[in-house]
A and B are shown apart, each in its own frame.
Chain A
Amino acid sequence: MNVALVKSMEQPYGELFAEVRNRLPGDRLVASARKAAFDDFATRGLPHRRIEEWKYTDLRALLHAVAPLAPPPEKEARALAAKAAAALGIDHACRLTLVDGAFAPELSDLATLEKGVHVQTLSEALGEGHADLLKTKIASDAMISLNGALATDGVIVTVDDNTSLSRPLHIAHVATASSASMVTRSHVRIGDQARVTLVESFVGARDAAAYQVYDQVEVSVGDDTELQHVRLMEDARDASNITTAAFRLGARTKLNSFGLTQGAAVSRYQGFITFAGEGSELSTNGVNLLGSRRHGDTTLVVDHAVPNCTSREVFRAVLDDQSHSVFQGRIIVRHGAQKTDGKMMTRALLLSDECEADNKPELEIFADDVACGHGATAGAIDEELLFYLRARGLPEKEAQSLLIAAFVGEAIESIADEGLRNIATATAERWLAARG
């Protein structure tokens, strides 16, 4: 590697940290954890194509640099954020809002939390010296370290044992600043025998442009618990969103996760899901809707650390213009994790000749009594289907839209909550409408 290049990359990052380290929340212990995390990031630099996990998403080429941290939002920014958060239409949820990387209590439903739900902000917890909240055990890379170094705020949500929530919990990320970074980190801890729906959303307020979102969320799910997870990413068209999510599943849990990416010029969602208890089931459905020159990467690592668990991953991409979609799926079956049943499927719908879909399945299997598999398809819209619809009176574009909506709709159907299903459908429809 070119040493001069590495040196020249390090310099701006040193400044980036030096400028903000004194205003980042946390006591001495937290500050030293931040310093260690930042040093690790500065040594690695932004991930690039020669790092296998980032082969298709070269952040050095796509992002060039990390923007300075956004300032805490002023009154006007909060007003804009309130509008943007409401525009999503998730009215039936209990909302916790983060604006430009800071918790916004006046845009959050703290007063109406259901019984058994407790919320603290990350900045408060760091002030109390909980440096461990910035450390990640599940994986390590430059972006995870960057998040640990710079996270300004987030929420720490605890759901007690035996709690069945009637409303979804909604962590809403809103950006109002431009050409700035928002670094957030949240923890969700769900007890045993609970039923929870967790929504995460990412949007930009009016006029917010070229901002960078760096989020991390760590979720632990207790035994016999059911979690429905819905993530809607609709950041501004010239923004970036790099998110790490980690799920640790207890015994006999059910995790149903749905993710829709239809925003940002550059995005990466990396999910690490670990089966820590037997008899659990994971179902994930991911959708990328991309156009123009946008780049969307979904990378999932499913770790079957114990026997008798089931995982299903279905990933769909719809690509137009010169867009680029990446799906990397790794299934790890550890020694002794017998009776593992893990499957993944990716399907790409290519609407132009210039788009690109990359698909990298990886199976690492260290047990001998397992059923694992993967499959992939990529292709244009079925001409026979298109003709059938046109012969019934639909103009070509409308027929295409109906078929694309159907392709995406099959994934959206996995969302159990009807209100959220409708909102996911509306989000996908906005993409179709923008396509014209």
Chain B
Amino acid sequence: MTALLEVKGLKVQVEDNEILHGLDLTVNEGEIHAIMGPNGSGKSTLSHVIAGKPGYDVTGGEVLFRGEDLLEMEPNERAAKGVFLAFQYPMEIPGVATMTFLRTALNAQRKARGESEFSTPEFLKKVKEASARLSIPQEMLKRGVNVGFSGGEKKRNEVLQMALFEPSLCILDEMDSGLDIDALRIAADGVNALRGKNRSMIVITHYQRLLNYIIPDVVHVMSKGRVVKSGGKDLALELEKSGYAQFEDKAA
């Protein structure tokens, strides 16, 4: 198996406060990894650092993507290489039509990879197909990005972007937060449709519930800035029963 993402001994600080204390994680091509853990364990920090969000100070370790140093790249370069972060709270951008945003982003990525830009009919066809699968009405795509969208619509819009950009690594940051069970099912179905041997995923979640819909190959438990236990999908069920307390003691 080929490693897609290798996180080795990653240490990260925010304003002199160390959040990740030497984290190791390897995700192979085509694998779905779930990362679970209590609030404040560093799950979102890890996703932000992989995507390149400013404000985090990497003080040790490395992050390799197909063997390349990811931390040296701008966020847009990482996106063009195939890293996609589905935001826990997708941003609202008034004044930028969703369609314009999708097209600008897709073409920016293609341009960075030296590929030709999509023609308008090609692009419209792609969006139409992908949005139909996710039950996203065309009218929504004319509105400002995420403006006036419900929580479920925002998450579906993130999945729509995943479908269009065809990334090789998807990081889903608390995709289940703020979603009712129906909205969760639609979003999860959208994600499952994108599973494939050329696409890996890191599913970050607080609750086991999401993993009933997106079934992981590997489950990691994070506590206090480290991965403290890894196992198969049954580990998630075990956690649901016994809680995180046992791991918090272990990490301390």
**How far is it, in angstroms, between the C-alpha of A423 and the C-alpha of B105 when the chains are bound?**
24
Instruction: Please tell me which one of the listed residues B52, B96, B106, B165 contacts residue A390 in the complex, with CB atoms under 8 A apart.
Output: B52
**By the criterion CB–CB under 8 Å, are A406 and B90 in contact?**
no
Which residues of chain A in 389-413 are interfacial with respect to chain B, using CB atoms and an 8 Å cutoff? 389-396, 398-399, 402-403, 405-410, 413
- B97–chain A nearest beta-carbon distance, Å: 9
**By the criterion CB–CB under 8 Å, are A384 and B52 in contact?**
no
Chain B, Cβ-Cβ closest to A406:
B95
- A400–chain B nearest beta-carbon distance, Å: 12
Which residues of chain A in 2-39 are interfacial with respect to chain B, using CB atoms and an 8 Å cutoff? none
Instruction: Please tell me which one of the listed residues B51, B76, B112 contacts residue A396 in the complex, with CB atoms under 8 A apart.
Output: B76
Which residues from B are CB-within-8-Å of A389?
93, 101, 105
**By the criterion CB–CB under 8 Å, are A393 and B112 in contact?**
yes
**By the criterion CB–CB under 8 Å, are B91 and A390 in contact?**
no
A-B interface pairs (CB < 8 A), number: 78
**Chain B: how many interface residues by the 8 Å CB criterion?**
30
Seen from chain B, the residues whose Cβ lies within 8 Å of a Cβ on chain A are 51-55, 74-76, 78-80, 84-85, 87, 90-91, 93-96, 101, 104-106, 108-109, 112, 144, 161, 165
Of the listed residues B52, B84, B101, the one surrounded by the most CB atoms of chain A closer than 10 A to its CB is B101
Chain A, Cβ-Cβ closest to B113:
A393
Which residues from B are CB-within-8-Å of A396?
74, 76
| Residue interface mask A374-392, B partner, CB < 8 A = 1 | 0000000001110111111
**Pairs A-B, 5 closest by C-beta atoms:** A406-B95, A393-B109, A393-B79, A390-B75, A392-B105
**By the criterion CB–CB under 8 Å, are B94 and A406 in contact?**
yes
**By the criterion CB–CB under 8 Å, are B90 and A390 in contact?**
no
Question: Given A393-B108, A394-B76, 13 other A-B contacts at CB below 8 A?
Answer: A389-B101, A390-B76, A391-B78, A391-B79, A392-B108, A393-B165, A394-B108, A395-B74, A396-B76, A398-B104, A399-B76, A402-B101, A409-B95
**By the criterion CB–CB under 8 Å, are B95 and A388 in contact?**
no
**By the criterion CB–CB under 8 Å, are A393 and B106 in contact?**
yes
**By the criterion CB–CB under 8 Å, are A406 and B93 in contact?**
yes
Which residues from A are CB-within-8-Å of B55?
383
**By the criterion CB–CB under 8 Å, are A391 and B85 in contact?**
yes
**How far is it, in angstroms, between the C-alpha of A314 and the C-alpha of B201 when the chains are bound?**
45
- B246–chain A nearest beta-carbon distance, Å: 35
Which residues from A are CB-within-8-Å of B94?
406, 410
Chain A, Cβ-Cβ closest to B111:
A393
Which residues from B are CB-within-8-Å of A390?
52, 74-76, 79
Instruction: Please tell me which one of the listed residues B76, B93, B144 contacts residue A393 in the complex, with CB atoms under 8 A apart.
Output: B76
- Listed by A's residue number, 11 A-B pairs whose Cβ atoms lie within 8 Å are A387-B75, A389-B93, A389-B101, A391-B84, A391-B85, A392-B101, A394-B108, A395-B74, A395-B108, A398-B108, A406-B93
**How far is it, in angstroms, between the C-alpha of A387 and the C-alpha of B48 when the chains are bound?**
10
Of the listed residues A391, A394, A396, the one surrounded by the most CB atoms of chain B closer than 10 A to its CB is A391
**How far is it, in angstroms, between the C-alpha of A191 and the C-alpha of B79 when the chains are bound?**
58
**How far is it, in angstroms, between the C-alpha of A393 and the C-alpha of B165 when the chains are bound?**
10
Which residues from A are CB-within-8-Å of B106?
393
